[in-house]
Amino acid sequence: MDTPTPAAPAVNREHAPAEFGPVWRNGLVSFRLWAPDQATVILAIDGRESLPMAREAGGWFTAATAVPAGVRYRFLLPDGSAVPDPASRFQPEDVHGPSELVAPGAFRWTDAGWRGLPWHEAVIYELHIGTFTPEGTFAAAAARLPYLKSLGVTVIEVMPVGDFPGRWSWGYDGVLLFAPDSRYGRPDDLKAFVDRAHALGMAVLLDVVYNHFGPEGNYLPLLAPAHTDLHVTPWGDAVDYGRREATSMRDLVIANVRMWIGEFHLDGLRIDAAHEIRDREPDHILAAMAEAARGAGGSRKIHLVLESARLEAGRVSAAGGFDGQWNDDLHHALHAAITGEADKDYVDYAGRPDVLAQALAEGFRGGGDADRATVTLPPTAFVSFLQNHDQVGNRARGERIGMLATPAACRTAAAAYLLAPQIPMLFQGEEWAARSPFPFFSDLAPTFATAVRDGRIATFATDPDDLLDPFDPATFAAARLDWSEHRQSRHARMLDWYRAILRVRRREVAPLCAGIRTGGDWRVDDGVIRITWAGAKKDLMLTLNLSPRPAPLPAPLKGRAIWREGRIADGRCPPWFVAWSVRRRER
């Protein structure tokens, strides 16, 4: 049984989609710039005479000329500013430099037969191109794809690659949405990464940031009404999606969505901080994104994931257009249980096996708010994890879970989320208990760096000496995975464990997931969690003692065992105990 693909929600179309960036037609290249806030614009092409651009309706400027791919160009404004193309496909000299003209159809794809993967088969692996390999490039990451295939990964989620200022970044301060960062390689290198993944039977999602732009190198406000003053995000001015002019920021972002799915053959997107993407109109920009992505994907299976601080039940339902949402509640409950941390994010989760049970069974924890009642959503509407870039990196020193909890505790927590019917997501290096931290790092210019440093000190309320400096090259270097580790005995054993449990998921759990259409029935007795998810023909059953203390076994284990951590003795669950089983439904 295949997981139903969410339908693209109905969107009110008031005008045809706008084309952003150079367009190749009849031997000429038409350079296009949306700049309604400018009176005149001049196209400056390196080594050629500058061309005045014609002003057209909707705030557009155009100029057509015969030039080859590879030339570099900028737009000159009346105040003397020279700005890159907001829809640049490549920035060889970073965000302040000229844009390079790229022929989008030059890459030779080999994935014509690729149709994507059913969502219930997803095992996601989140990676950061700059730190996943020593080289930090698309090409080097592509060379590691067979390793991910052998691990049991079916979907790769790449952290944002839109061009950002400086030499390194998480990617969330990007400013040129259409240009893969040049430090990672050329656009065709990213296409080759996707093409290779498809050849190996793996899908690729891209993390995209549509709620704000980074503080350095964002030239859009010089050209057009890009931001709104109706609200501010924690990271900067919010993008204005409320306008309904002939062309607007809605059109630019929708064009970007279409490019990633259509031109780069990506299999979907993860929308960063969707709660900060606000739209005053009924035809919400998120619905438009979903429609654009599925339209650009044609017959391929396209998967769309939200990160949001609130439950997006309407959007991850069958008619909402999105496949899933990150489940921070489950992460916080797992983390608090195995580390003992009880401050900040973990206050509401520490010592609460009931919260952990509900987050595992239903997706989000309850709390009296009807909007968070998730039992009617299928478990596959939630993406679960024990680590991710945020939960590791937004600590003062970027410690991974293996630095905070014992190996036994980590294995039990991992077994709980990896075999649950939610969609599991690993973070790079998790599978071998990598020792490299993943702290926040950035390379903004000094004028911006001071504000970022001060903000992080205030966030963590810590002595500056206890906080890794995001702008120190050593901080970025420390985050790179050490690929010699996974051959060392302790790490190799953990890697073998992950491979084994993912084989069990593929064989036993994934086939059940499409038939589990609602949350599970759960209860907690003396700290021991029991959950049953009802499938079409079989039930999936969990007994979990995620605690350093033994506890009475509430009832005999039932069904056919598919995974165990620890052994029952004298009717008691040992510390860090998990038992997964499958039981055929009674007629």
Domain shared by 429 and 479, yes or no: yes
Q: What is the pLDDT of residue 246?
A: 63
- Whether 2 is catalytic: no
Domain boundary among 513, 542, 561: 513
Is the pLDDT at 375 greater than 80? The verdict is no
Do both 565 and 469 map to the same domain? no
User: What is the arithmetic mean of pLDDT over 435-443?
Assistant: 96
Per-residue model confidence as pLDDT tens digits over 38-95: 999 999 999 999 999 999 999 999 999 999 999 999 999 999 999 999 999 999 999 9
Q: Are residues 456 and 549 in the same domain?
A: no
Query: Is residue 117 a contact partner of residue 417, using CB atoms and an 8 Å limit?
Result: no
Q: What is the pTM of this model?
A: 0.95
Active site residue: 163, 188, 272, 443, which one? 272
Per residue in 515-549, is it b (16+ CB within 10 Å) or e — as a string?
bbbebbebebeebbbbbbbbbeebbbbbbbbbbee
Q: Domain of 563: which CATH number?
A: 2.60.40.1180
Consecutive H or E run containing 194: helix 187-199
Answer with the one of 493, 513, 533 that is the final residue of a domain: 513
Q: Are residues 350 and 433 in the same domain?
A: yes
Name the strands in the sheet holding 521-525, side by side, starting at the edge strand that comes first in the sequence. 521-525, 528-534, 538-545, 577-584, 560-565
Number of helical (H) and strand (E) elements in the chain, helices listed first: 15, 28
Does residue 31 sit within a domain? no
| 530, 487: one domain | no
| 395 and 436 assigned to the same domain | yes
Do 368 and 251 have their domain in common?
Answer: yes
b (16+ CB within 10 A) / e for 488-497 = eeebeebbeb
In angstroms, how far is the first alpha carbon of the chain from the final one?
Answer: 20
What's the pLDDT at 320? 87
Average pLDDT over all residues of the chain? 93
Query: Quick one: pLDDT at residue 394?
Result: 87
**String of b and e for 117-152 (b: at least 16 CB within 10 Å)?**
bbbbbbbbbbbbbbbbbeebbbbbbbeebeebeebb
Pair of tokens at residue 384: 């679960």
| 384 and 430 inside one domain | yes
Structural domain includes residue 83: no
The b-or-e profile of 331-358 (16+ CB within 10 A means b, else e) is bbbbbbbbbebeeeebeebbebbbbbbb
- Residue ranges at the known binding site for substrate: 270-275, 328-332, 389-394
Q: Is 570 a catalytic residue?
A: no
Q: For residue 49, is it within any domain?
A: no
- If asked whether residues 311 and 352 sit together in one domain, one would say yes
pLDDT reading at 111 higher than 70: yes
- Spot the catalytic one: 307, 312, 323, 430: 307
> Between 17 and 526, whose confidence is greater?
526
Answer whether residue 101 shows pLDDT above 50: yes
Domain membership of residue 507 (yes or no) is: yes
The pLDDT value given to residue 2: 61
Task: Assess whether 579 and 550 both reside in one domain.
Answer: yes
Is 171:209 a contact under the CB 8 Å cutoff?
A: yes
Higher-confidence residue of 192 and 226: namely: 192
Angle at the Cα of 515 from the Cα atoms of 149 and 114, rounded to 5 degrees: 40
Predicted confidence band of residue 13 (pLDDT cuts 50, 70, 90): very low
- Give the per-residue pLDDT at 236: 85
Q: Are residues 254 and 293 in the same domain?
A: yes
Q: Domain for residue 91, yes or no?
A: no
**440 CB contacts (<8 Å, ≥6 apart)?**
170, 393, 394, 398, 456, 468, 470
CA 541-546-550 angle, to 5 degrees, is: 105
Q: What percentage of residues in the chain have a pLDDT greater than 90?
A: 82
Reported as a pLDDT band with limits 50, 70 and 90, residue 368 is very low
Considering the domain architecture, whether residues 332 and 415 belong to the same structural domain is answered as yes
| 426 compared with 58, residue with greater pLDDT | 426
Print the domain residue range for 541.
521-584
Last residue of a domain, one of 513, 545, 567: 513
Answer yes or no: is 47 within a domain.
Answer: no
pLDDT band at 19 (very low <50, low <70, confident <90, very high): confident
Number of domains, the chain: 2
Give me the pLDDT at residue 229, please. 84
Q: Write the pLDDT tens digit of every residue in 235-254.
A: 888 998 887 776 789 999 99
Across 385-406, average pLDDT:
95
Give the residue among 514, 7, 13 at the shortest CA–CA distance from 302: 7
User: Does residue 59 sit within a domain?
Assistant: no
Q: What is the pLDDT averaged over residues 439-444?
A: 96
**Contact at 8 Å (CB) between 231 and 167?**
no
